[in-house]
Structure 1
């Protein structure tokens, strides 16, 4: 139990200092604003998210094992609720008006709305794993096979803080959605290249094709029918293999010039 308390206090101190620096940064002139803006986009955002979320888990685990990990979670929740209280105190007019949390709590009940939010946070490790694969695994496909390179900051960024009236509780959870949606979207974009390269064959079940075509447009835009032959598959690959040796899924924007 001492390890739990110690880890909790360490995390509270660490995150309080870090969040305070992030809040003050934008007020430190041009340089401060530049750094603050960089913190809202990858790759700097990756460092900020790591420092706020999984790094404390690691420290807690090293300090006191599972008790330390639990202590780090408690510390993070304490700091989060404290930040929400401070931010909402600074924006009294906003919290007296229409709010997402107020509407959903009224519609579904306070405890169900909040419990649902915390349940979604259990997916954080999954999104961290996806993000790590984007950073450390996908680059090998760029190098080996000429897969398209992506500017991660166009996908991995947070901007909901710019929305007027979005503060406190609503803002912090919208940041979470902002970040994880970008991670998911970039992962899906990378996976489109993988799928159309190694297996451009429509699924046998039409319902699956219907369900997946939004994220994988090549299902309707070039993949071979499930009743086709391997000759059809190889021919499709050959027809869609760029002459410059680079690769991208069939409907990738960079192919527009090739079709003209």
Structure 2
């Protein structure tokens, strides 16, 4: 019974927050401003944590308390059951929100939808099953986001890597797209957030790679596969057939960048007048 309370508390907290957001963004100019703030980092980070990882964490600790003063193994078992109960509450909350959101938007629900097309293409069970399977990656993206927030400022301080306006990367906007409701909307918001987090992480890694090891891979296939995400492979890294003297020469020639930081070789700020940051960076 106590685990049911954990599940219920999890669902209630998520539905309450969703309700607050729906009401707040309709409160005139102040509500619209709050809505814009909630759609981008750093406030978006708080909301994403609230809806994704916090229920499981809270359920874990609540479950551990149910273990009382028993063995650590017993406490761990209760903690895992608590986390599972909270996750079940998350699923219930999401499905409830999807039902209510589609109910409130009958025209969009009955009209053309991505959901309907994909269900017809691959089957409803396989389509939904695949999306739920990708949810297993949410903790990974959450860890990546925490690493971006916790580690990058120190690298900026220590080795003058470029600063980034992270809200220009980590934001969501697909809720503004006409006709997205229910499953379509929640899936698109998930992809919206996930893509921003991953793209920012890739951008940060471009700086790391070019700064500490600007050497092409000896595998031609790997160079071909990676050059889109790491343009410096063809834009200045030392040949795999050269030597350490060439790599050292490249590092000496490329750093610091014209604007004084240590950005990757193809960073847009290197290509603008006086090293100014381009719009959106």
Note whether the superposition's TM-score is higher than 0.5: yes
Q: Does the C-alpha gap of structure 1 residues 258 and 26 become closer, same or farther in structure 2, counting only changes over 3 Å?
A: closer
- For the residue of structure 1 that corresponds to 2:237, the secondary structure is coil
Is it true that 1:192 corresponds to 2:217 in the alignment?
A: no
What is the deviation of 1:22? 0.6
1:92 to partner: Cα distance? 1.1
2-side partners of 1:159 and 1:233: how far apart?
Answer: 42
What is the TM-score when the length of structure 2 is the normalising length? 0.89
Report the counterpart of residue 240 of structure 1 in structure 2.
254
Quick check: 1:80 aligned with 2:94?
Answer: yes
Residue 31 of structure 1 pairs with residue 30 of structure 2: yes
- 2:172 is equivalent to residue 168 of structure 1: no
TM-score, normalised with respect to structure 1: 0.96
Q: Which of residues 101, 110, 113 is equivalent to 1:99?
A: 113
1:259 to 1:33, Cα distance in 2 relative to 1, 3 A: closer
Q: What does the per-residue CA deviation read over 1:130-179, in whole Å, with 9 as the maximum and x for residues that have no partner?
A: 10110001111100111000001100000001111111110001000000
Deviation string 1:186-240 (CA, Å, 9 cap, x unpaired) is 0000000000000000001000000000000000100001000111000001111
Aligned twin of 1:254: 269
- Return the alpha-carbon distance in structure 2 between the equivalents of residues 152 and 246 of structure 1: 17
Cα distance in 2 between the residues matched to 1:82 and 1:3: 22
The CA distance in 2 between the partners of 1:80 and 1:4, in whole Å, is 19
Unpaired runs of 5+ residues, structure 1, are: none
Residues 28-67 of structure 1 aligned to structure 2 (within 5 Å): 28-64=27-63, 65-67=79-81
Query: 1:151-166 counterparts in 2 under 5 A?
Result: 151-166=165-180
Aligned to 2:14: 15
Q: What root-mean-square deviation, in Å, do the aligned CA atoms of Structure 1 and Structure 2 show?
A: 1.4
